[in-house]
Amino acid sequence: DAAVHRNAALRLAGPFGISGRLLTTSSAPIANVTVLLSGTSTGAFISRMNGYYEFGGLVPGSYTVTPETLSYVFSPPSRSYAPLETPRNGQDFTGSLVYYLQGMVRDPAGSPLSGISVSLTGAAERTVVTGTDGKYTFPGLAVGDYAVTPSREGWYFEPASYSYTPLIAAQVNQNFTAIRIETGVGEVRIIGGERGFVRTGDSVRLVYRPRTTGQVRTRVVTLRGRVIWENVQHCVAEFQYGATWPGTTSAGEKAPSGIYLATVNGGGISVIRRVALVR
């Protein structure tokens, strides 16, 4: 196969070319977008300041031209020529601006983790699984409210999630640190707070493995017994579960500084632990 190299309107053996512009819905040029050529010849072209792209010197054959970026959705998504038998000019694409979320899941040593489910909820709902590079991406998002949450059995994540209310720009480096947690049957572990107490923005993960199947109720209460936060899950005996307290009340209001009691009851478990919150 012939190769048309990056940003080179090369005149190879062939007499044909494909060219056009990338434009917004208001006809403004879209620059610095990679346009890919595949088929009989392959190549890539970075759109110029006026949105122009070009692949020259093409021999007769089958080709597809595709603009690729996380920041726009193009119409049409691609253009195909099967076969290309004449020069094709004016092969424009119209791009609509969208946003994306991107990040990585790592272990405490900084190594990427594969096999972590990352869920997007809110104005759009999707789930992806991290690959060997630990990365995840949610492309093509419109303005709206979203949350991104990682999950995997037996792991605790910091932060527990990211929220966008609303998402009005692309967000990169939305990274998570994953910590492996193992509990014995009937055991409760509290994870969170780097110095033994919870600061603003931290969260507390209560992890447990019930002895029996049934509902497990996790609560955070004041020393006077007032319940400020509660989580109820139906759990299967000897499987590991967890609940994350974000340092707020159930209504989403910030809890004041102080000492709280975290209680886990049900499934053959009855445990009370102290949690310090510092603001």
Whether the Cβ atoms of residue 9 and residue 56 lie closer than 8 Å to each other: yes
- The reply to whether the predicted model has a pTM over 0.95 is no
Options 1.10.760.10, 2.60.40.10, 3.30.565.10, 3.20.20.70; CATH for 99-180 is 2.60.40.10
pLDDT above 90 for 240: no
Q: How many CA atoms lie within 13 A of 233 on its CB side?
A: 20
Query: Whose CA is closest to 120, among 180, 172, 164?
Result: 164
Handedness of CA 248, 208, 217, 121 (dihedral sign): positive
Options 3.20.20.70, 2.60.40.10, 3.40.50.10310, 2.40.50.140; CATH for 2-96 is 2.60.40.10
Phi, psi of 16 (to 5 degrees): -110, 165
Across the strands, what pairs with 242?
207
How does pLDDT run across 109-163, given as a tens digit for each residue? Answer: 899 999 999 999 999 999 999 999 999 999 999 999 999 989 887 787 878 789 9
More confident residue, 53 or 245: 53
Q: 188-278 maps to which CATH number?
A: 2.60.40.4070
